[in-house]
Amino acid sequence: MGMQVGDNKGGAIAEMNVVPLIDILLVLLIIFMVITPLTPKGLDTLVPQPNPNQQQNQELENKTVVVQVLKTGLQTTLKINQEDASWGTLGPRLEVIFKERADKIAFVKGDNDVLFQEVARAIDVMRSAGIDKVGLITAKLEAGQ
């Protein structure tokens, strides 16, 4: 606490000294800034980007492998690009496709009516076939949004 002495007629007036309080608040602010992580933690995702150049888009389409999980009636059907597949042949076929490729990247596209369990099963089969990165394709992404 500080005291003001001077030409006031009532005598001494006590004033609060706020400088130490401001110092403490600044130190606390710096401590919390250091403690708070600067980069958010999360999962790395791989999303195909729409390409305006049609020729490069065609080359990319030939290299891109998309496993589609579709709902037809009461059963689930699988496609690798446009080729029909089943749960038993999905893993070996993907191993053949990716045997000579350096980049082992594939995408999964699930139908709206398919349970997530089926999409997760397809991702599991793809990972066990040796694919390093599995991306997800959504309807908005296909529309270019």
CATH number of the structural domain spanning residue 127:
3.30.420.270
Enumerate the β-bridge partners of residue 84: 79
Residue-wise burial string across 96-132, b where 16 or more C-beta atoms lie within 10 A, e elsewhere: ebbeeeeebbbbbbbbeebeeebbebbbebbeebebe
**Co-location of 61 and 127 in the same domain:** yes
Band of the pLDDT at 61, cuts 50, 70, 90? low
pTM for the full predicted model: 0.56
| Tens-digit pLDDT profile for residues 83-111 | 888 889 888 988 888 888 778 888 998 88
Q: Taking 90 as the threshold, does the pLDDT of residue 8 lie above it?
A: no
**Co-location of 118 and 70 in the same domain:** yes
Question: What's the rounded Cα separation, in Å, for the pair 108 and 15?
Answer: 70
Q: Taking 70 as the threshold, does the pLDDT of residue 69 lie above it?
A: yes
**Surface-to-core class of residue 83, CB atoms within 10 Å of its CB (0-12 exposed, 13-18 middle, 19+ buried):** exposed
**Co-location of 58 and 125 in the same domain:** yes
| Tens-digit pLDDT profile for residues 101-141 | 778 888 998 888 888 898 899 999 989 888 888 888 876 67
**Co-location of 119 and 65 in the same domain:** yes
- Counting the structural domains of the chain, the total is 2
**Co-location of 80 and 117 in the same domain:** yes
**Co-location of 75 and 18 in the same domain:** no
Question: Within a domain: residue 43?
Answer: no
**Co-location of 74 and 12 in the same domain:** no
**Co-location of 73 and 139 in the same domain:** yes
**Co-location of 20 and 62 in the same domain:** no
Q: Which domain holds residue 94?
A: 54-143
